[in-house]
Amino acid sequence: MSQKQQTIGVLTSGGDAPGMNAAIRAVVRTATDLGHKVKGIMRGFTGLLEEEFIDMDAMSVSDIISRGGTILYTSRCDEFKTEEGQIKGAEICRKHGIDGVVVIGGDGSFRGAEKLAEQGIRTIAVPGTIDLDIACTEYTVGFDTAVNTAMEAADKLRDTAGSHERCNLIEVMGRTAGHIALWCAIANGSEYVLLPETYNDGELDKLIEKVKSKHKIGKKHHIIVNAEGIGDSFEIAKTIERETGIETRATVIGHIQRGGSPTCRDRVYASALGSRAVDLLDQGQTSRVVAYRHGQFTDYSISEAMAMQKTIDPNLDRLIHKLSR
Ligand code: ADP
Ligand code: F6P
């Protein structure tokens, strides 16, 4: 333990992600083990500004590791994007004796963490988003569960697409990133994937040509994965049906991808990241993000992490076209 006992705040912010509870549990238990106090900050930065805190001890996080969602609730808080909001947040932390805050969320939440650190409250960010859209890490809390949920849904859609000899377009989440779509497309043996990172004007024509040519050589049903960042799946489905003459349905999987009991990987990695975040606060560090990269748990300064660019793995993208028949 560091010399001084600290009071550590923990909050979840932005879209919830399965595994956030495992991260909260790791934060609370690592902190209390090191002799620190923990305050749960409810509903993300909204709860910080409204001084909605709960005292947490090791027992307050019992039986949560297997639960989806976040026991601390989450929100999107516009007030915290303003300098006044950030100053107010830091003053509230000082008023309640909070020395450092673990912020579990996506890149928006990281910006909030960085701003709070600039106001003198030490912060460590934990990547918690199903989107896998954070460049400094090959893993984000919730992606594994979400992509498995999407995969299972797409398996089911394949059954009905097969029975009706239809084309099925499946829209998955990811905001402006295509990682869920890419992984889902490979895992489901899809024929085509539309990714925001690589989408261009001729893409839909290429997709239609592919469906037509596969249909000509006897393919009975077609599975296409669409990342939500591309556009309206129902309109795309109509275009495919009109241009190919194949009956086409669109299914938006939606928020189901954000729920459910976290996978083993999400529980284990979220635990390791949450624990590391507290170790960093214990060492007196601030404005850092914990990550998993090149086979190990590590950390970066938030500004360095935010400057990195995340790309789609071109080899995975190529694999879909190489393997589909
Ligand atoms: P995510 O963290 O999943 O990317 P958002 O982008 O919605 O989700 O961000 C979550 C919250 O983080 C926002 O509602 C806001 O409270 C905070 N936040 C986002 N951007 C900033 C910013 N530039 N400065 C301060 N806080 C921010
Ligand atoms: O960032 C996680 C995410 O689920 C995105 O994939 C999606 O675009 C967005 O959040 C949906 O947000 P909301 O829950 O506000 O509809």
Residue 2 located in a structural domain: no
Are residue 136 and residue 252 in the same domain, yes or no? no
Are residue 253 and residue 270 in the same domain, yes or no? no
Are residue 27 and residue 111 in the same domain, yes or no? yes
Give the CATH number, domain containing residue 194.
3.40.50.460
Residue 181 located in a structural domain: yes
- The answer, yes or no, to whether any atom of ligand 1 lies below 6 A from the CB of 106, is yes
pLDDT at 321: 85
pLDDT at 2: 62
Distance of CA 181 to the CA centre of its chain: 13
Which residue, judged by its Cα, is nearest atom 6 of ligand 2? 174
Ligand nearest to the CA of 105: 1
pLDDT at 1: 55
Are residue 82 and residue 67 in the same domain, yes or no? yes
- The answer, yes or no, to whether any atom of ligand 1 lies below 6 A from the CB of 258, is no
Residues classed as catalytic: 131
Are residue 136 and residue 266 in the same domain, yes or no? yes
Ligand nearest to the CA of 48: 1
CA distance 190 to 193: 7
Residue 317 located in a structural domain: no
Short-list 47, 140, 153, CA closest to 92: 47
267 contacts 65 by C-beta, under 8 angstroms: yes
- The answer, yes or no, to whether any atom of ligand 1 lies below 6 A from the CB of 111, is yes
Short-list 18, 14, 58, CA closest to 40: 58
Q: How many other β-carbons are positioned within 10 Å of the β-carbon of residue 325?
A: 8
Residues contacting residue 41 through CB under 8 Å, at least 6 positions apart:
9, 10, 11, 47, 48, 52, 53, 72, 101
Strands 37-41, 7-12: pairing is: parallel
Residues contacting residue 163 through CB under 8 Å, at least 6 positions apart:
none
pLDDT at 135: 97
Distances in whole angstroms, Cα of residue 25 to Cα of each of 157, 192, 199, 267, 292: 36, 39, 40, 10, 19
Residue 323 located in a structural domain: no
Give the domain extent around 74. 7-142+262-307
Distant-in-sequence contacts of 160-163, Cβ < 8 A, 24+ apart: 161/221, 161/222, 161/223, 161/249, 162/220, 162/221
Distant-in-sequence contacts of 156-163, Cβ < 8 A, 24+ apart: 157/223, 157/251, 158/188, 158/221, 158/223, 161/221, 161/222, 161/223, 161/249, 162/220, 162/221
Per-residue pLDDT of the chain (325 residues; tens, 9 = 90+): 566 999 999 999 999 999 999 999 999 999 999 999 999 999 999 999 999 999 999 999 999 999 999 999 999 999 999 999 999 999 999 999 999 999 999 999 999 999 999 999 999 999 999 999 999 999 999 999 999 999 999 999 999 999 999 999 999 999 999 999 999 999 999 999 999 999 999 999 999 999 999 999 999 999 999 999 899 999 999 999 999 999 999 999 999 999 999 999 999 999 999 999 999 999 999 999 999 999 999 999 999 999 999 999 999 999 998 998 7
Asked whether the whole model's pTM tops 0.95, one would answer: yes
286 contacts 122 by C-beta, under 8 angstroms: yes
Asked which of 201, 227, 258 is the last residue of a domain, the reply is: 258
88 contacts 111 by C-beta, under 8 angstroms: no
Which residue, judged by its Cα, is nearest atom 13 of ligand 1? 76
The Å distance, Cα 250 to ligand 2 centre, comes to: 19
In one-letter notation, the amino acid at residue 7 is: T
Are residue 137 and residue 267 in the same domain, yes or no? yes
The Å distance, Cα 111 to ligand 1 centre, comes to: 6
Ligand nearest to the CA of 173: 2
Residue 70 located in a structural domain: yes
In one-letter notation, the amino acid at residue 266 is: D
Which residue, judged by its Cα, is nearest atom 15 of ligand 1? 77
Residue 320 located in a structural domain: no
Are residue 121 and residue 63 in the same domain, yes or no? yes
227 contacts 158 by C-beta, under 8 angstroms: no
The Å distance, Cα 141 to ligand 2 centre, comes to: 14
Give the CATH number, domain containing residue 274.
3.40.50.450
- The answer, yes or no, to whether any atom of ligand 1 lies below 6 A from the CB of 259, is no
- How many domains would you assign to the chain? 2
Are residue 175 and residue 232 in the same domain, yes or no? yes
Are residue 54 and residue 114 in the same domain, yes or no? yes
pLDDT at 272: 98
- The answer, yes or no, to whether any atom of ligand 2 lies below 6 A from the CB of 140, is no
The Å distance, Cα 303 to ligand 1 centre, comes to: 15
What is the token pair recorded at 289?
Answer: 């993000």
The best mutation among 12, 16, 175 to test binding of ligand 2, ranked by most ligand atoms within 8 Å of the C-beta, falls on: 175
pLDDT at 325: 76
